[in-house]
């Protein structure tokens, strides 16, 4: 247990330690792009092993300061604390949104470029209403959404088109080809078939997300924001059957709900789901024993309209554990909070660095291995915080829709086919999984059996 400081406040890191956290944790994650990834920086971060440095930095602080939490030596107006202990991580996630609000100030500044009234950056009754709406639309407690069979059908159609293209390219599949297909799937699932080819909508959102990467340093694109919302609203008014837009039209709203500020999150958050799918494909290509288990599941289940595909879901969760697409989960304290080592001031930004918990090789035997069974055997990781979708009352309400769409995409790409990494030794070079896997330069050779 860590000691209380003389002031009764949670201890603070030194200036040098704070600068080291900035250099090893905050700057690389911000540079990679918090709201939309910058592919070149992701490639550089992979080569330089920056994600490992971030984990090691927090491990060092944990060894020196114990369980923490640890305040960074930042200006008083912007206090920030690191969570270093699994119990504390569970506490922060479970005690959301009071006293640990999801509406943390840096997150607010980033999301205000395209969804200022989103649940995640709202608080109090407004957050409660918007969270209720998202949970209902996304049917967050159902393993498979009521529209799951339709989503599976959309994935099948688009995957077939992609596989025809792959055949024309001598079996080669790269990120660019996959991304085009993925964006079509996302627009059809969220807005309906009418939006299938509306790449312009995706591009407008990308422009706004790029501004979001710069948070308060970017003046914003008011024109693009208006055009994007106008276009989005035409699809929401249409409420096409078989898409989430139909659910949005069906679920009750009040003046507070602001569906058009919730839906950009649905569209943009499917982006990391595509990254996780491509990485999961790489994991399976590099682990033939696991690929075989996946093939058994596909053969036994894919004839049903909307099977859960538990094994493939576990592979996706492993992809997200090894390379979390939301590495920094942030909360902001709404009041003073008490810890074993002292008091933390109100309005403190609290950082949970997902890779620090997901890949803590001091505690988890298989921290750096691909181990889907971690997700298949309940209790395998005990109370250890695994937070690819965050956790507690702020958990991602879209996680099950995501797992349906991504597992079906994997199933359709693999059904009756063999998938090899190109070059084949990209992940096999060591049995330990790399700290980061750049999805943008992954390529595969796909062949029918």
Query: What single DSSP character describes residue 2?
Result: P
Residue 155 contacts ligand HEM per CB under 6 A: no
Assigned token pair, 346: 């109100």
Residue among 111, 236, 273, 413 that touches ligand HEM (CB under 6 A): 273
- Residue 434, sorted as left (phi over 0), alpha (psi -120 to 50) or beta, turns out to be beta
CA distance 188 to 194: 7
CA distance 165 to 177: 8
Residues 224-235 as b or e (16 or more Cβ within 10 Å = b): bbeebbebbeeb
CB of 370 or CB of 389, closer to ligand HEM: 389
β-pair type (337-339, 342-344): antiparallel
Minimum distance from CB of 437 to ligand HEM (Å)?
14
Q: Is the CB of residue 392 less than 8 Å from the CB of residue 94?
A: yes
- Residue 423, sorted as left (phi over 0), alpha (psi -120 to 50) or beta, turns out to be beta
Stretch that binds ligand HEM, among 174-182, 390-398, 408-416, 439-447 (CB under 6 A): 390-398
Minimum distance from CB of 199 to ligand HEM (Å)?
18
Residue 119 contacts ligand HEM per CB under 6 A: yes
CB of 89 or CB of 276, closer to ligand HEM: 276
Residue 272 contacts ligand HEM per CB under 6 A: yes
Considering only residues 66 to 105 of the shown chain, the ones binding ligand HEM according to CB under 6 A are 102
Minimum distance from CB of 320 to ligand HEM (Å)?
6
- φ, ψ of residue 416 to 5 degrees: the values are 70, 15
CB of 82 or CB of 401, closer to ligand HEM: 401
Stretch that binds ligand HEM, among 109-117, 148-156, 266-274, 301-309 (CB under 6 A): 266-274
Residue 134 contacts ligand HEM per CB under 6 A: yes
Residue among 62, 265, 348, 404 that touches ligand HEM (CB under 6 A): 265
Stretch that binds ligand HEM, among 46-54, 196-204, 292-300, 324-332 (CB under 6 A): 324-332
Residue among 180, 301, 326, 415 that touches ligand HEM (CB under 6 A): 326
Minimum distance from CB of 102 to ligand HEM (Å)?
5
How many angstroms from the chain centroid is the CA of residue 43?
A: 18
Residues 187-199 as b or e (16 or more Cβ within 10 Å = b): bbbbbbeebbebe
Residues 311-346 as b or e (16 or more Cβ within 10 Å = b): bbbbbbbbbbbbbbbbbbbbbbbbeebebbbbebee
Q: Among residues 378, 444, 446, 394, which one has the least CA distance to residue 416? A: 446
Minimum distance from CB of 423 to ligand HEM (Å)?
26
Residue 388 contacts ligand HEM per CB under 6 A: yes
Residue 162 contacts ligand HEM per CB under 6 A: no
Residue 182 contacts ligand HEM per CB under 6 A: no
- Residues of this chain that interact with ligand HEM (CB under 6 A) are 102, 107, 119-120, 131, 134, 138, 265-266, 269-270, 272-273, 276, 320, 325-326, 329-330, 388-390, 394, 396-398, 401-402
């Amino acid at each position: 247990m860590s000691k209380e400081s003389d002031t009764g406040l949670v201890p603070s890191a030194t200036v040098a330690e704070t600068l080291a956290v900035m250099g090893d944790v905050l700057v690389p994650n911000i540079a990679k792009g918090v709201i939309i990834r910058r592919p070149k920086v992701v490639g550089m971060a992979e080569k330089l092993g920056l994600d490992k440095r971030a984990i090691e930095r927090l491990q060092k602080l944990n060894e020196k300061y114990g369980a923490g939490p640890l305040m960074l030596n930042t200006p008083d107006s912007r206090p920030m604390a690191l969570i270093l202990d699994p119990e504390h991580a569970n506490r922060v996630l479970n005690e959301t949104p009071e006293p640990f609000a999801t509406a943390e100030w840096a997150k607010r500044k980033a999301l205000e470029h395209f969804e200022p009234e989103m649940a995640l950056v709202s608080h109090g009754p407004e957050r409660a209403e918007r969270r209720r709406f998202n949970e209902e639309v996304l049917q967050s407690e159902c393993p498979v959404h009521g529209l799951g069979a339709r989503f599976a059908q959309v994935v099948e159609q688009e995957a077939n088109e992609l596989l025809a293209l792959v055949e024309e390219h001598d079996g080669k599949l790269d990120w660019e080809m996959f991304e085009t297909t993925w964006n079509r799937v996302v627009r059809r699932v969220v807005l309906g078939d009418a939006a299938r080819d509306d790449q312009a909508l995706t591009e407008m959102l990308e422009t706004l997300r790029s501004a979001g990467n710069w948070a308060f340093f970017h003046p914003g694109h008011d024109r693009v924001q208006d055009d994007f919302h106008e276009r989005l609203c035409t699809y929401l008014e249409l409420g096409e059957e078989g898409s989430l837009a139909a659910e949005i039209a069906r679920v009750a709203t009040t003046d507070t709900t602001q569906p058009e500020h919730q839906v950009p999150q649905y569209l943009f958050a499917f982006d990391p789901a595509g990254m996780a799918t491509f990485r999961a494909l790489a994991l399976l290509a590099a682990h033939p024993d696991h690929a075989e288990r996946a093939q058994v599941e596909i053969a036994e289940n894919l004839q049903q309209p909307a099977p859960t595909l538990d094994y493939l879901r576990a592979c996706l969760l492993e992809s997200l554990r090894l390379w979390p697409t939301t590495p920094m989960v942030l909360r902001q304290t709404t009041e003073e909070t008490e810890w074993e080592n002292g008091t933390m001031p109100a309005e403190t930004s609290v950082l949970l660095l997902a890779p620090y918990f997901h890949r803590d090789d001091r505690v988890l035997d298989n921290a750096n291995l691909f181990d889907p069974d971690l997700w298949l055997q309940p209790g395998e990781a005990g109370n250890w915080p695994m937070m690819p979708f965050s956790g507690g009352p702020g958990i991602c309400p879209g996680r099950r829709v995501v797992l349906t769409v991504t597992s079906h995409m994997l199933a359709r790409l693999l059904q009756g086919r063999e998938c090899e990494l190109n070059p084949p030794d990209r992940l096999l070079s060591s049995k330990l999984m790399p700290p980061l896997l750049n999805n943008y330069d992954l390529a595969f050779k796909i062949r029918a059996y």
